[in-house]
Every structure is written in structure tokens, then in C-alpha cells.
With several copies, the nearest count.
Chain A
Amino acid sequence: MEQLNTLWMSTGLANFEMGQVIMMLVGCGLLYLAIARNFEPLLLVPMGFGAILTNIPLAGFSEVGGLLHYVYYAGIDTGIFPLLIFMGVGAMTDFGALIANPKMLFLGAAAQFGIFATLFGAIALNAIPGFEFSLQDASAIAIIGGADGPTAIFLASKLAPELLGAIAVAAYSYMALVPIIQPPIMKLFTNEEERKIEMAQLRHVTKFEKVIFPLAVLLMAIFFLPSAAPLVGMFCLGNLMRECGVVDRLSSTAQNELINIVTIFLGLGVGSKLSAEAFLNVETLGILALGAVAFSIGTTSGVLMAKLMNKLSKDPINPLIGAAGVSAVPMAARVANKVGLEANPHNFLLMHAMGPNVAGVLGSAVAAGILLALVGS
């Protein structure tokens, strides 16, 4: 009888709390979005699964001695996992389109207005009772507008670890929603004629330029923004390994096995922050709302900047590629290409949009560095 009671008390059914049930449903929702809707599945599958695991009563996944506890503290709290992902992303990134047309960097800069406007918006939300975002919190939330998952996780783990789960959910969800969020905004701020603009073919970029470029970027980060050096540094290391041509086996491992292993653990570790106390509150709603605002403002400012540049530049610039400045590589570039094709079936903008797209990655890493420098303790 006592044995039976012990057995019953050791079931999940006897120990469930409502919050855990809801968070498991959130985890299932993430899995659904990932698997059935193809929302950033590489991160959302392990993350959704991690959310389920961490909320199992008695299993202790995220308590001292639990698997997710080790994963979180060894990999995310230290910043190691996002940095390794960044190295892998660097090894996957081809800066050719950007080097061929460096003006595109201004589009990547403009789109970061999504971040800083959202920072202001997050502070403004404090006017509503129930919200009490500090500058640190607001900065971590605002980086969602950077449309760059590892950057958001890295910054949140430094500035507002208790919001990490919600921020990661928002960042990856909106990144997956780029094909739905961006087109209406792009069409709102451009007219048919602008969307039809064809751009000049990009010049060939030499190996020398591609090798020097990551070093030049790193040098600038060293000079002007050391707080961005971890992100920018690991990104440039990956890119240098890719382009230098003498360490192909390291580059290949960084973009395949290593990033895959780290992605599984990063997803699980972020998922372990999706506990009821941390997620089920009004702040999460605020974060989700602010994230949507951030993406929209970033897209808008990118498009408007491209329109301005089109006016000033002698080479025509299609304003649609400004939207790719939010990063979300390579989704945003594909969206620009698609919307361009709708207006002009002979207009292939993909390569042109890759420039602002990778510029957006640099831009949001720079923005993250500024936030770390100014509000990081």
C-alpha cells in the first residue's frame, strides 16, 4: 500500500502544476510550428523539446545535476554556444556581394533602427502598470529587432537571463515569419516603378578581398567597439577559415558537425529557460509585441534608406533590398527577391539583397556591442 502510494506520488500526474502544463503546450506549439510550418526548425525543434523536458515535474532536468542545467550553465551562461554558432555562421557566410557593393552596408545600418526604436518602446511600456523593464531588459528585448538568433541569445544571457526564454522564442518566431511580416511593409513604402528597378550586375570579388575583409571588420571592432569583439571576433574567425583556403577541414567542421552539435544543445538549453514563472507573465506579451514592432520598424527603415540611396546614387538601387538589411539570412534576401519578381519577372534581386543581408548581421552585432558597452554592468 505504501509502495503504491510512493509509486503514485512519483508519477507526473500527482505533481503537475498548471503552469507546467501550459508551458508544455507552449513547447508543443513550438514543435508544431517547427515541424508542420517549417519555422526555423533547426533551433525550434530542440528548443520546443527542451521546454517540454524542463517542465516535467520531478524529472529535474533543469535542477542541479540535471542535463539541461549542465547544458545551460556550461554553454549559454558562459556565452560559449552562441559564439560557436556565430563562428559556424561566419564560416557559412559569403561576403562577396557586400564587398562588390559596399554601400549596402548603409542598408544594414539603417535596419538597426528597429533595435533602438524598440529599446525606446520597451521603456515606454513601463508606463503601463505591470511592466518594469530596466534598461538592461529593454536592450535585451530590443535586440530581437536584429533578426539574429545567436546575437539575441548572447545578449540576453548577459543582460537579462530571466527573459532569455521569451526573447529567444520571439526572435526565432519572427525570423520564421519574415516572409509574412515583410512583404506588406515593403509594398506599403514602395511603388510599382521602384519595385521594378533592375540593378547592375555585381563585379567579381577576388580571394584577396575576401580574406582581408573579416580581418578589417575585426580590426574596426577592436578599435571602436571591443564589447562587440566576442561576437564579431568569432564570426570573423569562421569567415577567415572559410576564405583563406588553407584550413578547409576546420571550416567544414565549423559549418557542419560542430554547429550541429552546438545547435542541439543551444536549443535544449534555451528551452530550459521556458519555465512557467519566467514565461507566463505579462512581460512575455510585451516582448512578443515589441518583437513584432522591432521587425516592422527595421524593415521600414531599411526600405526608406534604400529609397533615399536610390535618389542619391548614380547606379539604380531597388528599395526592396533595403528590407534585407534586418539580416534573417538568407530568408530576408529571398523575400526581397520574391517581391521583386512579382513586380518584374525578369528581376533577380537575390544576389543584390545578399549584400544588405550580411551587412545586417554585422550591424546587429555592432548594435549588440554598443548595448553591452553602454548598459552592461
Chain B
Amino acid sequence: MEALDQLFIEAGTLMLAGMVFVFAFLGLLVVIINAVLTPLASKFPDPVAQSVTRPTLKKPAPQQGVSPTVVAAISAAVSQYRQKHKE
């Protein structure tokens, strides 16, 4: 076994080196994200999701002439139906 003093010195060095390295590593990652990743990202935007907007346009249309009571009734029926047909 090593003497305790020696171990203490090694542990202290390890603590110092370790924290410096962790900060350096993650700090460099911050730099990379800010300096490389984010600027690049503006050149590769997400594709516009067109399929998502269509159904929201479609759905309200047939709903116009329906009174709220009917919709409430329907919701209840649906609940009932799902309850029954649940396996």
C-alpha cells in the first residue's frame, strides 16, 4: 500500500485534473454548439410538415351546422361505445 500522504496528493491532483478536464470538455462542447452546430442548422431547416395542417382545415367544415348539444350527445355515445367495445 502507498503511504497515506502520497494517496492524498494523488487524490488532490485527480480532483484538480478531473474538474479541469470536465469543464474543458463540456466547455468545448458549448463552443462547438454555438460556433458550429447552431450556425450550420440554419442551412438545414426542418422540412415543413404540410400533412399536419390539412386535417385541421378539413375538420371544422362539416361541424358548422351542428349544435353543441348534439356534439355533447355524440361525445357521450362515443364514451359508451368505447366502454362496450373495449376488450
Binding site for B on A (CB under 8 A): 3-4, 7, 99, 102-103, 105-106, 108-110, 112-113, 115-117, 119-120, 122-124, 126-127, 132, 134-135, 138-139, 205-209, 212-213, 216-217, 220, 224-225, 359, 362-363, 366-367, 370-371, 374-375
Contacts and interface: CB of A to CB of B under 8 A. Distances in A.
Interface in B29-68: 29-30, 32-34, 36-38, 40-41, 44-46
A275 B15 CA distance: 32
A157 B24 CA distance: 27
B15 A117 contact: yes
Contacts of A109: 19, 22-23, 25-27
A4 B17 contact: yes
A359 to B, nearest CB: 7
19 contacts: A109-B25, A119-B14, A119-B15, A123-B4, A123-B10, A126-B4, A127-B4, A132-B1, A135-B7, A135-B11, A135-B14, A206-B46, A208-B41, A217-B29, A220-B29, A225-B25, A362-B29, A370-B21, A374-B14
Given A105-B27, A109-B23, A370 B18 contact: yes
Contacts of B41: 205-206, 208-209
Contacts of B19: 109, 112-113, 116
A216 B37 contact: yes
A162 to B, nearest CB: 16
A367 B18 contact: yes
Contact of A102 (B1, B11, B29, B45): B29
Contact of B22 (A7, A117, A126, A367): A367
B81 interface: no
Contacts of A7: 17, 21
B18 A213 contact: no
A366 B26 contact: yes
